[in-house]
Chain A
Amino acid sequence: MSAHEPLVLGIETSCDETGIGIVRGHTLLADAVASSVEEHARFGGVVPEVASRAHLEAMVPTIERACETAGIALTDVDAISVTSGPGLAGALLVGVAAAKSLAIALEKPLYGINHLAAHVAVDQLEHGPLPDPCLALLVSGGHSSILRVDDVTDTVTPLGATIDDAAGEAFDKVARLLGLPFPGGPHIDRVAREGDSVSIDFPRGLTSKRDLERHRFDFSFSGLKTAVARWVEAKAASGEPVPVADVAAAFQEAVVDVLVRKALDAAATEGIEDILIGGGVAANSRLRYVAEERATKLGIRVRVPRPGLCTDNGAMVAALGAEMVARGRRPSPLDLPADSSMPVELVLNV
């Protein structure tokens, strides 16, 4: 870490986590997160108005905590970066407004960046500069995408995405079916370890020959979710106990199989030798294991940030902001919008 590397504060409020990260170049100095997940748990999903209210309350205390952890004064910061989209409109707006306020108060440049590109850029904090090109598999409660990343500050090309539910959403819904708490991902992962993943054969969405013609790198998890629901209902109707661990393991295997299969197919097709997995579902231990195992056989390298950097956080936004500064990208204007459906190709909003 050298003093001339840019010191950047990043703000993330696209969903239910208020994240403030501080990085210097590729070095993580602080990653403070305030989550309203407990307030949402009783609804089984994120309530936008509840999330927006929580962001307002958490913003200043979380900035303060991040500065303390990093051992910096706010006035030391060289630039502010913020998630401009995609995400929940009202939630994004709180972060974007806070970022603009800091930019004005500190007289520093503002970078309104894409949340998905930030999920990719965060790995630089852990594993150093990204290989270019690299292939990114981003999976969370909000996204399921395969991206070709030639330059994380400028050139990101979507290859495939979910056509219905996000992978993380499927985990939440199946967890609810099985009586496991929200958010479902970690609980399915834990319970599945005791289960038999081949005991039930759940469908792999968009993998039939016909589907592959039109949706080669796209995902669908809605049919899988329905299949799990039907299976559980039938079991319950027959009066037999539902084998929760087996259902969890078989469901998880179906999701992981499709994610890894399609990501590796995309890498092979694009001639890319490095895959990066990000997003909250990247914390899933089975996904990490299967990806690593199958990729190694094909001579493909897999990079996965540690779980704390996979879920939404401010560090990822700061990491991409620092890259923008280092590459001399033009800052965003003060009328920067919060763009809930920001296209993935738009990495920096100017």
Chain B
Amino acid sequence: MLLAFDTATPHVTVALHDGDRVVAEYASSEAMRHGEMLAPGIADVLAQAGATSRDVSAVAVGVGPGPFTGLRVGLVTARTMAFALGIPVYGVCTLDILAAEAMDAGHDEFSIATDARRKEVYLASYASRQRIGGPDVVKPAEAATDALVIGRGALLYPEAFPNSAGPEHPDAAVLCDVVVRERFALLDPEPLYLRRPDAIERAS
């Protein structure tokens, strides 16, 4: 079974895929509580499916970009679990998960924007089922466009992104599909921080 989760937005999403289909899903009820909600979410999808950790044969994780603290909860959980179970771990760019869902809804050319806080967004652009730009961290005004922009980052800044749409957050069920069908590049489980630690910025 493939266990998939993403913690690179304020929400936690978890899904379990048995090779044919998604058999269990979990979505956190509270925002910004990745540390508390991810592990119960994993236990919950295993219980729903009547499975144990030994039934898990691979782990998939969203590697961001996203707020660092939540992002690390997902990555350290994925890496540690894969090591403990001796199974592979696949990383997927969090914006690609949202893009896959947008394609399934019939969109072809669009951008994905998530909330990067500090009045910025994480942005990537897509066409013909591929990522053609990004991910970058940008100010909405500098990336303003009338073209379709999907995700929480688009909905937050309507002046910059008047043509916006959901879904707002990535869905681990879609992450399963991205990995199983290799719809986007599968990455190492390395975080896409896109920003350096503040102290280093100040020092340099």
Contacts and interface: CB of A to CB of B under 8 A. Distances in A.
A105 B51 CA distance: 12
A38 interface: no
Contacts of B37: 335
A180 to B, nearest CB: 20
Given A53-B197, A93-B72, A105-B84, A59 B79 contact: yes
A106 interface: yes
B200 A52 contact: no
Interface in A48-103: 49-50, 52-53, 55-56, 59-60, 63-64, 74, 89-90, 93-94, 96-98, 100-103
Interface in B34-63: 34-40, 42-43, 46, 52-53
Contacts of A334: 39-40, 43
Contacts of B40: 333-335
B85 interface: yes
A335 B39 contact: yes
Nearest to A107: B53
Contacts, number: 106
A337 B35 contact: yes
Nearest to B79: A60
A42 interface: yes
Interface residues of B, number: 33
A96 B35 CA distance: 8
Nearest to A52: B72
The A contact surface, by secondary structure, is: helix
A264 B79 CA distance: 47
Contacts of A94: 72-73, 76
A234 B104 CA distance: 73
Contact of B85 (A56, A105, A336): A105
A49 B199 contact: yes
Contact of B197 (A50, A60, A89, A100): A50
A335 B46 CA distance: 16
A104 B39 contact: yes
A97 B76 contact: yes
Contact of B53 (A56, A104, A333): A104
B75 interface: yes
A101 B198 CA distance: 29
Contacts of A96: 35
23 contacts: A52-B68, A53-B68, A56-B76, A56-B79, A59-B80, A60-B83, A64-B83, A74-B83, A89-B69, A90-B72, A94-B72, A94-B73, A97-B35, A102-B80, A102-B84, A104-B53, A104-B81, A105-B84, A334-B39, A335-B39, A335-B40, A337-B36, A338-B35
3 closest Cβ pairs, A-B complex: A105-B84, A100-B39, A49-B197
